[in-house]
Amino acid sequence: MTTYLIRRILYAIPILIGVNLITFALFFFVNSPDDMARLALGGKRVTEEAVEKWKRDKGYDKPHFFNVREQGHARFTNTIFFTKSASMFVFDFGVSDDGRDIGTEIRTRMWPSLAIALPTFSIGLAFYITFALILAFFRATYVDVSGVVACVVAMSISSLFYIIGGQYLISKLWHLVPISGFDYGVDALKFLVLPVAIGIVSSIGANTRWYRTIFIEEIGKDYVRTARAKGLSEARILFRHVLHNAMIPILTGVVVIIPSLFLGSLIMESFFSIPGLGSYTIEAINNQDYAVVRAMVFLGSVLYIIGLSLTDVGYTLVDPRVRLS
Amino acid sequence: MPFKPVILWTDALLFLLLAAAVGLWLHMRSRPHLLQPWRNLVQSRQAMGSMVFLAFFMAVGLLDSMHFRLRISPADATQESRYRVQTLSALDVLVGPLRTQTEKTYSAPLATHLFAKETIEAAGDGRTRAYPRLTYGGAHLSDPATEWLPDVLRLIAAGLGLGAILWNALALLVTGVLARHTGREFGQTWRAIWQHREPLPWRTILISAGFIVLLLAPMALLATRYHVLGTDKVGQDVFYLTLKSIRTGLLIATLATLVMLPLATALGIMAGYFGGWVDDAIQYIYTTLNSIPGVLLIAASVLMIQVYMATHPELFDTIEQRQDLRLLFLCLILGVTSWTGLCRLLRGEALKLREQEYVQAAHAFGVSHSRVIRRHILPNVMHIIVIAVVMDFSVLVLAEAVLSYVGVGVDPTMTSFGNMINAARLEMAREPMVWWSLASAFFFMLVMVLSANLFADALRDAFDPRISVASRGKA
């Protein structure tokens, strides 16, 4: 197990280097720092000194990979790549445009994000699997057919409409919960209910249908026929045998996204003005704060790769046939 | 020439795509084994019903993709002909007054007065605060309070009548052509259609077409006198904006696929077929790209494109060209970020096909790799490609709205569903609420995505060999 984990981590390193190089190329080769400086300072009437000063302040006034003016290892360390991109490997994300340390921001902002994303994820999962089991239980009847049609209609509606509609109905018309905002401690609850509920409802169609497909596929397998021949009730087959065996495909899709829950949801957080990482990213995009976007891209892939490794480990826990070797 | 055609980048690609589809059809026409799944598809009621709606959207999108600039009538014949700066599309000409008849600001659907009170100079006693009359909407009524309802009802009734006539003409035409084609009597064919005994689901097609005609005809008649779906903040007709948004959604959904398809197909098949270091390299590329969260990668790329376009203004002359370039880049980015899923599927399938006896036999005969891929692998993974393309369509239309909301979508000045919804967010906060542009965007987007989803489902049933075997086993 330990050796397997170590191998997974070693396997992740080249991927992270790739991600790092992609973001570096995207942010420093597509446009030169001069272009970015001009845009940030506004328009074409920018003096050369102002551009130089902007680059110096941001630390962009260095060569990309190799600094010929330095001696020894400083030739490699005193470059944009080393100070801005490679430093992210030790989670040193630098400072944002408003002068704050990005690492500290991430550490404080991930908790509100998690407060929304974790309940949405876990309660949602329970809902979707329950609905899918009900549909699978009544398969090929009107309950199933109308359920699937409802799912298709639900997944054809843009998530933006669920949010706008939910905010309008529940907060503006019925005044049940505040329309947006966030608070810490127990007070957070009243701000959390609506985004969590909308988050669950908005993806109910796609998810229920997806889990239903998994269950239906599982029901067609031989062991189900054997169980029926043995005289087990349909409900017992579905809720014990099928559900257990369907855990493997379900886990594949689910475990991968658990670490990424830290990142929060861009849209949810900006609609409900929750001070999480999602709204942090959106603000950075709108303010063209490249340092923050770069940091979030890197953090996102680190979390995704952790999720991939967790999935593999999760397999061994639910499926004794899979041995990590 | 009274006009000069303007071919924007995205127009060219859309027409290229259309030509490719026609080419594919010509290629398949003489190969019955390739046509079989399509034959299953056109016999499915769900597929053809939703196809009628999709065809409507595509027609609007195509009309809106034929761009040109009108000529300014020269003062004398010797002058060199010059053209207006403004780029129009065939749709703009077709809807005529909808584009030009703009009001001052918001007005509700079918309204005769503006939505906000203004100070009006009254004839006798100075100024009053009142809702001013619209410049165009209901301008033909002398007393809106009494004449408005009868006029609207009359237009709706006339529209329904016109729709009914059009629809009947269509039904008779279809029956006539079908009767001539099969050599049966007219009445016999008519009954066969309505009792659903035809191989093609003509009844479903006609009913779907009926829905469209009966909805559009009254709207078209109303649109000549009123703003059917109201006007937006700067007084533009919302119905017109909605029609224009269709092209944007359609283009994003099709062009991103066009970018993604060759990449995913080539790399996926190569990885599965050759294995070894090729497989390792391709797997490394897609795992790396896949590990960056999609929205963030798109956001980062679009930010960079923004900077690039701001520093290279020489790439475009007009606003339309700027919007177009941005749309093209967005499609490119969406394509580059979304090919990994299909690539992985194709790799798995090619891995399996490589071990098949007929592929090994081909190797034994000394057939070259490229020929094996073309003749044996590609036709056998075609169903995966077709399903993936159609499944992606609705996802991409929905993604456009979200991306435009986040601020990394299409150009903010471009008409799109995303920008309409984005604007609606502020309108919803007004008191009383401006609901119509959100509702129109919502309705048209729902119909578009829903018909795409239904079509995709039917297509998957027709193409996926696994499903067709399973359903045959059940029956």
% of chain B at pLDDT higher than 70: 94
Summarised one tens digit per residue, pLDDT across range A262-273 is: 888 888 888 888
A40 in contact with chain B, both atoms CB, cutoff 8 A:
no
Residue in chain A lying closest to B451 (CA): A156
Instruction: Decide if B300 contacts A293 (C-beta within 8 A).
Output: yes
- pLDDT-derived band of residue B74, with 50, 70 and 90 as boundaries? low
Of the partner residues A30, A159, A164, the one whose CB lies closest to the CB of residue B438: A164
Q: Report the candidate in A39, A69, A17 with the shortest Cα–Cα distance to residue A287.
A: A39
Is CATH 1.10.3720.10 the right assignment for the domain spanning B246-472? yes
pLDDT tens for each residue of B228-251: 888 888 888 888 999 989 999 999
pLDDT in tens, B154-209: 989 999 999 999 999 999 999 889 888 888 888 888 888 888 888 888 889 999 99
Q: How far apart (Å, rounded) are the C-alpha atoms in residues B436 and B420? A: 10
Domain-wise residue ranges, chain A: 102-318
The pLDDT of residue B123 is 63
Among B291, B445, B459, which would you mutate to test the A interface (most chain A Cβ atoms within 10 Å of its Cβ)? B291
Nearest C-alpha neighbor of B310 from the set A187, A32, A83: A32
Task: Tell me which residue in B284, B445, B449 faces A18 most closely, judged by beta carbons.
Answer: B284
Sketch the domain layout of chain B as residue ranges. 103-225, 246-472
- Give the pLDDT confidence score for residue A156 in this predicted structure: 92
Q: How many interchain CB pairs under 8 A, A with B?
A: 123
Selected for mutation to probe chain A from B288, B438, B460, B474 (highest A CB count within 10 Å) is B288
Question: Which candidate in A158, A171, A309 is best for mutational testing of the B interface (most B CBs within 10 A)?
Answer: A158
pLDDT tens for residues A18-29?
A: 888 888 888 887
Tell me if B300 and A161 make a contact (CB, 8 A cut-off): no
Model confidence at A211, pLDDT cuts 50, 70, 90, reads very high
**A267 touching B (Cβ < 8 Å):** yes
Task: Tell whether B427 lies on the interface with A, counting CB pairs under 8 A.
Answer: no
CA distances from B183 to B39, B175, B189, B196, B197 (A): 22, 11, 9, 18, 16
Rounded Cα distance, B131 and B467, in Å:
61
User: What are the tens digits of pLDDT across the range A64-75?
Assistant: 777 777 777 777
Strand, helix or coil for residue B268: helix
B8-32 average pLDDT score: 87
Q: State the average pLDDT over residues B415-427.
A: 85
Contact flag A164-B428 (C-beta cutoff 8 Å): yes
My answer on whether omega of the bond before B432 falls inside 30° of 0, hence cis, is yes
Q: What is the pLDDT of residue B465?
A: 67
Pairwise CB contact (< 8 Å): B407 & A285:
yes
Selected residue with higher pLDDT from A212 and A83 = A212
Distances, alpha carbon B137 to alpha carbons A184, B24, B188, in Å = 51, 47, 48
Return d(Cα B152, Cα B138) in angstroms, integer.
9
| Residue B345 tokens, joined | 């599927």
Question: What is the pTM for the complete model shown?
Answer: 0.88
CATH of region A102-318, choose from 2.160.10.10, 1.10.3720.10, 1.10.10.60, 3.40.50.1110: 1.10.3720.10
Residue B102 in 3-state DSSP?
Answer: coil
Band (pLDDT 50/70/90 cuts) for residue B472 is very low
- Radius of gyration over alpha carbons of chain B, in Å? 27
Candidates B218, B236, B243, B221; CA nearest to B56 is B243
Here the tokens at position A118 are: 């974790």
Distance CA B287, CA B289 (A): 6
ipTM of the complex: 0.85
Q: Is A168 on the interface with B (CB under 8 A)?
A: yes
CB contacts, 8 Å: B445 with chain A: 158
